[in-house]
Chain A
Amino acid sequence: MEKPKLIIDGKRIDGRSMDELRPLKIQAGVLNKADGSAYVEWGGNKVLAAVYGPRECIPRHDASPYRAIIHCRYLMAPFSTLDEHGRSGPNRRSTEVSKVIKEVFENVVMTEKFPKTAIDIFIEVLQADGGTRCAGITAAAVALADAGIPMKDLPCAVAVGKIENEIAADFGKLEDNYGDGDMPIAIAPRNNELLLLQMDGMFTKDELRKALELAFNVFPKISALQVEALRAHYAVKKDELSRGD
């Protein structure tokens, strides 16, 4: 495929402005058996996250006497892209993505409260449209909260990047494939620390500063939707309270 023009009349290929997010919908508590779960639709991404634990750590030799071990498995379904049928199961990319997502949650989950156990995070990308690891982190944070696991903060994530020398937020699939650089970032919104930071592309220092600023401008919007999803799932109406349900 020829490289499409990614900016037309100052607008992006899907009509968005540079700092505009794609439509983002988050739902908490969508699965029955999991201790916590969340579903995220973000642009064309459809991502499901589930959390089990704290529970027995398998394999047992992974367990720590000091803290819970966090396992994270991020996978893309073989039918999740417009390309040909993918291979199911982990590959080199998904192994790396699983590792960096795990490290995000190791920062915020109070693992010291649950020694000798494991907290297992499963992220299944059912449909991929660029920025799947960020959608996965955003979903997994809500799923962990839904599981009642104590956390210091509720991480959120977005990919920013460079298209035709402009900095834009929340890359879609085409921008991901044909843009000039992509930078997924996850933060802890309470102290604004960077929990995940990856980048590929050619950025000057100034462009990196701009990209970082743009990410920090959109984080509050993502964060608010996460909180709203949890509130919608757990809010009890006044009249239900009085009936003692």
Chain B
Amino acid sequence: MDILDEIKKDYVLDLMKKEKRPDDRGFFDYRPCTVEKGIFESAEGSARVKLGKTQVVAGVKIDVGTPFKDRPDEGVLSTTAELLPLASPTFEPGPPNAAAIELARIVDRGIRSSNAIDLNSLLIEKDKVLMVFVDIYVLDHDGNLIDASALAAMAALLNAKLPKYEDGRIIRTERNDNLKVSQKVVTCTFSKIGSRIVLDPGLDEEKAMSARLTLATTPEYVCAMQKGGSGAFTKDELMNLIDVSFEKGNELRKFLD
């Protein structure tokens, strides 16, 4: 670890003891957030999310293909994430590492388990389905990539229009119907720093955290969870964070309207 990181870590841990965050936010406050939909004409759907100084874009491409053998009546939803080397000095070129794979799979899990995209509705005819590809591109890393990415993916899906399909061919220049999205799933990610828990950790806070917990929610249900890091959470902490996630999730969901 970088020596500067060690110093920042000590600084953040000290601040937490004084009940403060590096940018003076409340423990369960998000940084300023903006969501822009439809930023790329080439993609069927797209969005840019800025969460503080973190910036993520997502593109949705829609193709026609054959379904998975074990799921013949369902379309395909595939989510990937790229931690681009331009986003952070710690991101290296090359195939996705464990962090990138985990990021994409958390976002995917929330969308999939809430049935936000009804995969059965993507069946065109026997052995022909629509395939929805969500690609998350991290452009600038200043902490909490999970929430920014989940928001970008959801916004891009809500923005997506289906290309025209005629005589077995996709006509990409004509897009009419919206992709059906039945749920707005958002994630809330918490960091445990010392004995404190904060929402929406910034990069310096992530350097000082021992553990991370993400909850994906719809207004009524928790639809995915993932703990990360070598630290731990208690049962009581988890139950409390479920309440916070429902409350803060509603705040985030407004950015998707």
Contacts and interface: CB of A to CB of B under 8 A. Distances in A.
Contacts of A188: 232
A212 interface: yes
Q: DSSP class of A's interface residues: helix, strand, loop or mixed? A: mixed
A198 B225 contact: yes
Nearest to A83: B70
Contact of B102 (A83, A84, A99, A197): A99
Contact of B234 (A84, A100, A192, A196): A192
Contact of B224 (A200, A209, A212): A200
A223 B134 CA distance: 41
A220 interface: no
A209 B236 CA distance: 10
Contact of B227 (A95, A98, A196): A196
B173 interface: no
A195 B213 CA distance: 11
A95 B95 CA distance: 12
B238 A198 contact: no
A103 B70 CA distance: 32
A194 B233 contact: yes
A99 B98 contact: yes
A205 B222 CA distance: 7
Nearest to A182: B113
Contacts of A212: 235, 238-239
Contacts, number: 94
Contact of B232 (A99, A195, A199, A208): A195
Interface residues on A, range: 20 to 34
Contacts of A165: none
B121 interface: no
A97 B192 CA distance: 21
A186 to B, nearest CB: 9
Contact of B98 (A83, A96, A199, A205): A96
A205 B109 contact: no
Contacts of A200: 109, 112-113, 223-224
Contact of A92 (B69, B105, B226): B105
B65 interface: no
Interface string A207-225: 0110010001000000000
Contact of A197 (B104, B223, B227, B230): B227
A193 B222 contact: no
A201 interface: yes
24 contacts: A83-B70, A96-B102, A96-B105, A99-B228, A103-B228, A107-B232, A183-B225, A188-B232, A192-B234, A192-B235, A194-B232, A194-B238, A195-B232, A196-B227, A197-B227, A197-B238, A199-B222, A199-B224, A200-B224, A203-B221, A203-B223, A204-B221, A205-B239, A216-B235
Given A92-B96, A197-B225, A205-B239, 7 more contacts: A93-B105, A100-B102, A181-B113, A193-B234, A202-B222, A203-B221, A204-B222
Interface of A: 83-84, 92-93, 95-96, 98-100, 103, 106-107, 181, 183, 188, 192-205, 208-209, 212, 216
